[in-house]
Each structure stands twice: as C-alpha cells, then as structure tokens.
Amino acid sequence: MFATLRTEVDFRDGKEVKIQDHTAEAKNDAFKHPVPEDLYMPYGAFIEKYNLSAAFNTVYQISQGMGDLLHVPTIYAAKYFNTGDIRAMTDGYLTHAHGNNSEIYSKAGEYISHENILLNSVVISSNRRKNTTAEGRGAELLVSTRGAGVKLLSCDQIVLAMPPDLSNLAGWDLTEQERESEASA
C-alpha cells in the first residue's frame, strides 16, 4: 500500500536503495543453480558478513520458534523474516480494533453457538460422503469429547482446527490424495 510514496534508504550513508523481494523464491525454493553461498551459509555468518547484528534482536523476535536462529541456513531465516515483515513493521500490522485478538473467536462462538464447538475433542470415525446419513444430510462424525463423552454428529459443514500432523487425522476418512498431501506437509 502506498508503495509509490515510500523510499528505502540505507541508513549508513543515506542513499536510496532498492530492496529485492525474494519471498516468492524462498517459499518455493525455486532458486537457480548453483544456489548462492549466502543463502545456505549459517544465518549468524550472514549477519557477520553483512554487519547486520543491530537488526538481529528484531529478526529474532519476529522469527520465534525457529530454534537456534544463528545456525540455520540463511534461506530459512529469510523465509520467516522477509519483506512482508519489514512492510508490516513500517506500515503496521493488521490487528483487532480493541487490541483483543481473542474477541474474534468469542464472537464466532456466539454466532455458531458454543454447543456446536467441540474443543479438545477427537474424531473417532467419520463419513464425509455427501447424502449418506439417514436424513440425507452431509457428513457424520463420531467424536469423543472431554465433557460430554462420545457424540454422533450429523453435519452440513465441518471446520477442523488442529496442528498439521497426520496423527491428528487418525479417525478421518481421508482420500488417498488428502493423506499424501498431509503426509508431505
């Protein structure tokens, strides 16, 4: 937004610079061969080579969860801290108006109805094939819940929120394509 009004400047000498956006390449690992040494050297060495130590604390805070950031290849550090993060730091992050990010989940729960939300539950088995239930409705799920025991659900729509791990989908009737897709994630 407002890219025509922005100027990138090297603060060491005040000269205008063009920041190259390698985000798309980094996401796809679509680099030409040979891959430049700077991209596979440890990120700590990259920081030293280009005298970027003043920025490291900020990069580290934005890139939480990467482990030992100084020893990962630079390409991975660039994937987690990229021009999108730099833009967000200068233009601002999109946040909730009241500063309460959990409010969106509370409002969604009110809209959906809290009894239709099964937190900390496990799908024991599923049948997602259309028009297969006795009433001719969408999918059926057999779910083990924390407080209500086992429930049989007839659903027109299902929203699944979970860590992307194949073991979390043990009770689901996955197609071979879904199973392969999840296994490669």
In sequence order, the β-bridge partners of residue 123 are 143
**How does the average pLDDT of the chain come out, rounded?**
78
Sequence-distant contacts of 120-123: CB under 8 A, at least 24 apart: 120/145, 120/146, 121/145, 121/146, 122/171, 123/169, 123/170, 123/171, 123/172
The full set of domain ranges for the chain reads 3-91, 110-183
Q: Could you read off the pLDDT of 72-131 as tens digits, one per residue?
A: 888 888 887 877 788 888 887 767 777 787 888 888 889 988 888 888 888 999 988 755
